[in-house]
Structure 1
Amino acid sequence: MKKEIDFKKAIGQHTLLYGEINTGKTYYTAQFIDYLLKSEYISPADISVLDFAPALNINNIKFGGKIKDFSKMSLKCKYLPLEGEIIPPRFNARDRKELFENVCHNYKIATKSLQLFNENPTNFLIINDLSIYLHLGNKNYLLQTIINVNTFFGNSYYGTKIKSSFSKLLSLKERKRVEFLINHIQNSILTSK
């Protein structure tokens, strides 16, 4: 990471980690939850978790992962349910049609969970892999959700390694939407190896 994260200072702020795959985004997000529960004694009921990351293991290489893979303590928090499995849109598509089907599938799941959060918000919102929502979701709705909470800590893919010949437009759209958030979230941190 180019910039060390002071978890204590992240409380009361909005923090976005963004970067390439395998740069610690999910790990640091999970560590923040552990910090809240262990060091700050925040009630798990005050911490909402939206985990949009697909479980990925391709050719025995693990990409990203879910928060619970890095923090068993996080399971005490208020996980908002996902009505279905998130599909890695580019990895599980053979053509543009399948890519679009995957993105639509994920959008429905992510949108429903985000709406559930907004109906019953908590002071702390954690989102893992928010780029899944941004593929089709409303960036302004997401930003307003983030602004409305006391503390936000989330992460997003922002790189070039996940690609295919038919996903260039999706990758460009994803990049622009993440840049929108970077420009509007006070504590945006680029992760790197």
Structure 2
Amino acid sequence: MAGYKLLIIGETGRGKTRLLVSLVELVRALGVPTTVIDLAPEKAGVGAKVARYIDVSGLVYLTADFRAPRLEGKDAAEELALAKENAEKARSLFAKYLSSPTPFLAVNDLTIFLHAGDLEEALDLAESAKAFVATAYYGELLRDKGSGILERERRAVEELARRWPTIRL
């Protein structure tokens, strides 16, 4: 089921989640069944959850307690362990969505999955919706401690930006 895709990228604190929320509210006002998969970690002022900005009742809202590997990991090994843990939690949410998809899917902070998850899984998830929008970190402020998740994230986001229309904030 090929559909419309949109990627919102930028540095932390630039309004990616707020723009995503505006799009979700627009689609909800049109009466389109909507799922939000919220991967934001909300740690150390980074990664705001969608529920901070809107009432998520009436949406299929899927989230978990995600970690911020670059901010919470003490070293490269811990960063990678946190990233892998996040990817598994995200896969579980993806599976819930795929078991009962809605026409519109919004993913907040897709890069939390892309730190250790497979880009093809993210592409397949996007293809399962008639319309898909995701936010992704793309900046310079958040560095890793030698784990390589920054470079992995950057390559994945650049590949998504080549495939999908992209708004950079």
Using structure 2 for the length normalisation, give the TM-score. 0.92
The SS at the match of 1:63 is coil
Task: Say whether 1:78 aligns with 2:57.
Answer: no
Of 100, 108, 112, which residue of structure 2 is paired with 1:120? 100
Of 41, 47, 50, which residue of structure 1 is paired with 2:34? 47
CA contact (8 A) 1:124 1:151 kept: yes
Two-structure CA RMSD over aligned residues (Å):
1.5
1:8 is matched with none
CA contact (8 A) 1:68 1:75 kept: no
1:105 is matched with 85
CA contact (8 A) 2:34 2:102 kept: yes
1:22 is matched with 13
Structure 1 residues 28-39: aligned runs within 5 Å: 28-38=19-29
Distance across 1 between alignment mates of 2:17 and 2:50? 6
User: Deviation digits for residues 24-68 of structure 1, max 9, x if unmatched?
Assistant: 100111111111223x233xxx21110000112x3xxx3330001
Q: Which amino acid aligns with 2:154?
A: R
Task: Say whether 1:181 aligns with 2:157.
Answer: no
The SS at the match of 1:76 is coil
2:150 is matched with 171
Q: Which amino acid aligns with 1:41?
A: G
Tell me the percent identity: 26
Distance across 2 between alignment mates of 1:68 and 1:94? 29
2:50 is matched with 67
Poorly superposed stretches of 4+, deviation over 2 Å: 164-167
Distance across 2 between alignment mates of 1:100 and 1:164? 10
- The unaligned stretches of length 5 or more in structure 1 are 1-11
Distance across 2 between alignment mates of 1:128 and 1:47? 13
The SS at the match of 1:15 is strand
What's the offset of the Cα at 1:81? Answer: 4.7
Q: Which amino acid aligns with 1:180?
A: E
Q: Which amino acid aligns with 1:78?
A: V
Distance across 1 between alignment mates of 2:63 and 2:110? 15
How many residue pairs are counted as aligned between the two chains? 167
Distance across 2 between alignment mates of 1:64 and 1:101? 19
Distance across 2 between alignment mates of 1:81 and 1:174? 20
Distance across 2 between alignment mates of 1:69 and 1:128? 12
Structure 1 residues 144-155: aligned runs within 5 Å: 144-155=124-135
